[in-house]
């Protein structure tokens, strides 16, 4: 029941007195009235804009935030009002909902902002009034489509990593030629051969000059029959190979075979094979000639290469009903006018309008304003009706055309928007990545400059940066502290991308002898700088490379170096303590593997406290934890 009608309930109950004298049975007792307190004004302060309403108005909908006791959480004692730190413009609509019982959707607002506000105030969007519901649903659908598109594109990008079988990679190469050079080459080659084939079909009918002793002109096709045949064979070879490859690579062969492009492919190459099979049989040569017409379908293969063609085809498909209507109305008009013209011209002698079907040709030519002039009316009535026919032809054709045009333009704009989004996506992703790495770098910077505000020798070198650190807002410092706690918890450290990537490369490229040097050199903020920091624990990016195959020697190297340079490192106390005790470390599981700042794969981080030597190499290799930064 609408809120407004609820105001009439007291009236309806009072009017029930009219039933009392005629009642057959005694009345039930009235319900207990709970005195809910005086109906007072409530002040709702939304980001400075004060809204006021009666308490009863809000309590009409007790399952929303404002109508229930949940609003007490937002009560601000000093000013005796309810304060919400939300958008006042959208709040206006929400409050109107309480007042009138109808929720409206403002067209100029962003749909996601609106949804958020509704969710915050506990109002389900389904109660939006009929007047605004269509618009709301449309915008919502657009939004979800856009998000889905983005996700799909992202997923596609992420599939750059291997895990694609040969078949899948081939299919991807076919569908997205710009993904690899091979695919691009293939794309252009097929395009070239399509063009060559179509041109050959065209040129082969041109009359070439014949020899002086020949009587009639022969077409080039007949003169250079062998050359054209070879060319045709080559093209069909390529097309066949392409089709077979696509067939093999397609994820769903059945769907591929049913698709339009594959049918075009088949139709394009069939005539050749049929021609091969059929001998020069006189009976079927006529049919054979017809088949050659189908060779022109090769030109449709270009639609794989051109998005515009695809859009055109899609538009025609989606305007099928308008086109059908156009055809139907034209047919009706043609029949009517042809009949009229025939009877009008029947009297004139030597008239070309010998029958109504003959008059069809005249009508079509006139209605489409072609006017060949091979059939013209001679009688006055015929001329009158002929002019009416041509005028109405223009009208009938002009009617469905705008619909088709608007459809085309809508689809074209949609595809353009998708293109724009894809182009912007690169910049968007770059921006996101920049902020991410910026944040990670900020943290690493922060660490370098000393969380405990110990400005050591290097502070002088990085004096400027340390200043920056000091004037970090509280939020930043707390955030960094949190990241630090995480590092302590997992016994891993954050590093930047470059170091991580160099590690990864070293894993694949490194040699045992080189490991040490490379390891040393690979840590830019490495052992050299770490010695100056007492409480600093520098990222041992090295360990990865070293631990491959469990090279103990290098571990020893590391540990010795470490011990000599950082004897008092109190972080990773358990491990370092062991270092100090035993120099040759066969069994120390070193989780020096430093974490880079990307996504977290499934193997959880293990903080090895005392593992076996046997398991340590495996440990290390599996401990390539990638902790997401920020």
Chain residues binding other proteins by CB under 8 A are 1-2, 4-5, 7-24, 26-27, 29-30, 33, 39, 99-100, 343-344, 346-348, 379-381
- Hey, how many other C-beta atoms are within 10 angstroms of the C-beta on 557? 17
Question: How far apart are CB 339 and other proteins at their closest, in Å?
Answer: 12
Kindly tell me which of 31 and 464 has the beta carbon lying closer to other proteins: 31
Question: How far apart are CB 29 and other proteins at their closest, in Å?
Answer: 8
Dist. CA 453–CA 461, nearest whole Å:
15
What residue ranges in 142-280 does DSSP mark as E strands? 207-208, 218-219
Kindly tell me which of 384 and 434 has the beta carbon lying closer to other proteins: 384
Question: How far apart are CB 104 and other proteins at their closest, in Å?
Answer: 17
Asked if 382 contacts 409 with a C-beta cutoff of 8 angstroms, the reply is no
Kindly tell me which of 399 and 614 has the beta carbon lying closer to other proteins: 399
Question: How far apart are CB 22 and other proteins at their closest, in Å?
Answer: 6
Kindly tell me which of 98 and 171 has the beta carbon lying closer to other proteins: 98
Residue 103: strand pairing partners: 128
Kindly tell me which of 30 and 373 has the beta carbon lying closer to other proteins: 30
Kindly tell me which of 15 and 185 has the beta carbon lying closer to other proteins: 15
What is the phi/psi pair of residue 306, to 5°? -125, 125
Place of tokens 């302590």: 488
Question: How far apart are CB 396 and other proteins at their closest, in Å?
Answer: 19
Q: What share of the chain is helix, strand, coil (3-state, %, to 5)?
A: 65, 5, 30
- Output the 3-class SS for 155-185: HHHHCCCCCCCHHHHHHHHHHCHHHCHHHHH
CA torsion, ordered 453, 457, 461, 462, to nearest 10 deg: -10
Question: How far apart are CB 4 and other proteins at their closest, in Å?
Answer: 4
Tokens of 17: 């007195």
Question: How far apart are CB 125 and other proteins at their closest, in Å?
Answer: 24
Kindly tell me which of 20 and 289 has the beta carbon lying closer to other proteins: 20
Question: How far apart are CB 342 and other proteins at their closest, in Å?
Answer: 12
Which residues touch 13 (CB under 8 Å, ≥6 apart)?
A: none
Asked if 362 contacts 353 with a C-beta cutoff of 8 angstroms, the reply is yes
With b for 16 or more beta-carbon neighbours within 10 A and e for fewer, the 566-592 pattern comes to: beebeebeebbebbeeeeebebbbbbb
Burial environment of residue 202 by CB neighbours within 10 A (0 to 12, 13 to 18, 19 or more): exposed
With b for 16 or more beta-carbon neighbours within 10 A and e for fewer, the 438-468 pattern comes to: ebbebbbebbbbbeeeeeeebbeebeeebee
- Hey, how many other C-beta atoms are within 10 angstroms of the C-beta on 401? 11
Question: How far apart are CB 235 and other proteins at their closest, in Å?
Answer: 59
Dist. CA 263–CA 255, nearest whole Å:
11
Question: How far apart are CB 53 and other proteins at their closest, in Å?
Answer: 11
Kindly tell me which of 172 and 383 has the beta carbon lying closer to other proteins: 383
- CA quadruple 141, 146, 152, 155: dihedral positive or negative? negative
Kindly tell me which of 11 and 73 has the beta carbon lying closer to other proteins: 11
Dist. CA 446–CA 629, nearest whole Å:
14
Question: How far apart are CB 40 and other proteins at their closest, in Å?
Answer: 11
Kindly tell me which of 21 and 373 has the beta carbon lying closer to other proteins: 21
Dist. CA 198–CA 297, nearest whole Å:
9
Kindly tell me which of 92 and 383 has the beta carbon lying closer to other proteins: 383
């Amino acid at each position: 029941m609408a809120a407004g009608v609820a105001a009439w309930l007291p009236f309806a109950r009072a009017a029930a007195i009219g039933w009392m004298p005629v009642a057959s049975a005694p009345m039930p007792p009235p319900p207990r009235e709970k005195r809910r307190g005086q109906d007072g004004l409530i002040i709702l302060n939304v980001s400075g804009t004060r809204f006021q309403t009666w308490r009863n108005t809000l309590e009409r909908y007790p399952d929303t935030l404002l109508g229930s006791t949940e609003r007490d959480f937002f009560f601000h004692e000093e000013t005796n009002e309810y304060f919400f730190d939300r958008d006042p413009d959208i709040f206006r609509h929400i409050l109107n909902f309480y007042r009138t019982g109808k929720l409206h959707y403002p067209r100029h607002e962003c749909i996601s902002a609106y949804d958020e506000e509704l969710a915050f105030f506990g109002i389900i969007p389904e109660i939006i009034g009929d007047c605004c519901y269509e618009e709301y649903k449309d915008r919502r659908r657009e939004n979800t489509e856009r998000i889905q598109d983005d996700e799909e594109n992202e997923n596609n990008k992420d599939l750059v990593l291997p895990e694609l079988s040969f078949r899948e990679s081939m299919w991807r190469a076919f569908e997205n030629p710009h993904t690899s050079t091979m695919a691009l080459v293939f794309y252009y080659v097929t395009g070239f051969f399509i063009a060559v084939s179509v041109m050959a079909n065209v040129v082969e009918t041109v009359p070439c000059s014949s020899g002086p002793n020949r009587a009639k002109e022969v077409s080039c096709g007949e003169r250079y029959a062998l050359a054209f045949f070879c060319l045709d064979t080559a093209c069909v070879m390529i097309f066949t190979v392409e089709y077979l490859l696509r067939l093999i690579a397609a994820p769903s062969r059945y769907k591929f075979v049913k698709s339009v492009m594959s049918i075009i492919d088949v139709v394009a190459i069939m005539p050749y094979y049929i021609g091969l099979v059929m001998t020069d049989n006189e009976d079927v040569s006529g049919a054979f000639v017809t088949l050659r017409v189908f060779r022109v379908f090769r030109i449709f293969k270009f639609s794989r290469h051109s998005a515009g063609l695809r859009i055109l085809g899609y538009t025609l498909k989606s305007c099928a009903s308008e086109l059908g209507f156009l055809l139907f109305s034209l047919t009706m008009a043609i029949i009517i006018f042809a009949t009229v013209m025939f009877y009008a011209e029947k009297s004139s002698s030597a008239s070309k309008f010998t029958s109504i079907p003959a008059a069809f040709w005249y009508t079509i030519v006139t209605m489409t304003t072609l006017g060949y002039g091979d059939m013209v009316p001679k009688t006055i009535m015929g001329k009158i009706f002929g002019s009416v026919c041509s005028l109405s032809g223009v009208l009938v054709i002009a009617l469905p055309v705008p619909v088709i045009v608007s459809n085309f333009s809508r689809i074209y704009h949609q595809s353009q928007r998708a293109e724009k989004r894809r182009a912007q996506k690169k910049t968007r992703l770059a921006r996101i990545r920049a902020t991410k790495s910026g944040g990670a770098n900020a943290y690493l910077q922060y660490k370098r400059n000393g969380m405990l505000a110990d400005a050591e020798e290097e502070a002088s070198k990085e004096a400027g940066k340390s200043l920056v650190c000091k004037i970090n807002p509280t939020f930043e410092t707390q955030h960094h502290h949190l990241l630090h706690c995480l590092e302590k918890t997992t016994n891993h450290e954050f590093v930047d991308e470059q170091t991580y990537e160099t590690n990864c490369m070293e894993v694949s490229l490194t040699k045992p002898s080189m490991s040490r040097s490379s390891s040393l050199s690979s840590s830019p903020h490495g052992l050299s700088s770490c010695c100056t920091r007492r409480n600093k624990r520098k990222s041992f990016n090295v360990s990865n490379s070293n631990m491959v195959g469990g090279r103990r020697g290098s571990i020893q190297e590391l540990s010795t170096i470490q011990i000599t340079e950082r004897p008092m490192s109190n972080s990773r106390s358990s491990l370092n303590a062991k270092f100090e005790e035993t120099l040759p470390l066969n069994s120390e599981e070193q989780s020096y593997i430093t974490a880079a700042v990307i996504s977290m794969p499934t193997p959880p981080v293990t903080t090895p406290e005392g593992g076996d030597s046997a398991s340590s190499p495996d440990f290390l290799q599996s401990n390539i934890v990638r902790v997401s930064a920020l």
